[in-house]
Amino acid sequence: MEIVQVILQVILGITSLLLTLLILLHRGRGGGLSDMFGGGVTSNLGSSGVAERNLNRFTVILGIVWITSIVFLGLITKFDAGL
């Protein structure tokens, strides 16, 4: 069971970094913290509707993997402590 826990921890670490990167790549909607860090400057990177939709899909899928790995790590920790 220890190998599964290590694999889930590695997955959690990788997905955490990728999720942070993908969230920072999203285009700011205005009026938030994104304007504070140069959100008023338009860029061509997020201007495509298809690219933004794909970025949203990848972010949601990675978020689901991230939450799932947290739940499984919690369950493994809970049931290993009882043995």
Tens-digit pLDDT profile for residues 26-74: 877 655 555 556 655 555 554 568 888 899 999 999 999 999 999 999 9
User: Distance between CA atoms of 64 and 75, rounded to whole angstroms?
Assistant: 16
User: Distance between CA atoms of 27 and 53, rounded to whole angstroms?
Assistant: 11
Q: Is the pLDDT of residue 11 over 60?
A: yes
What pLDDT does 43 receive?
Answer: 53
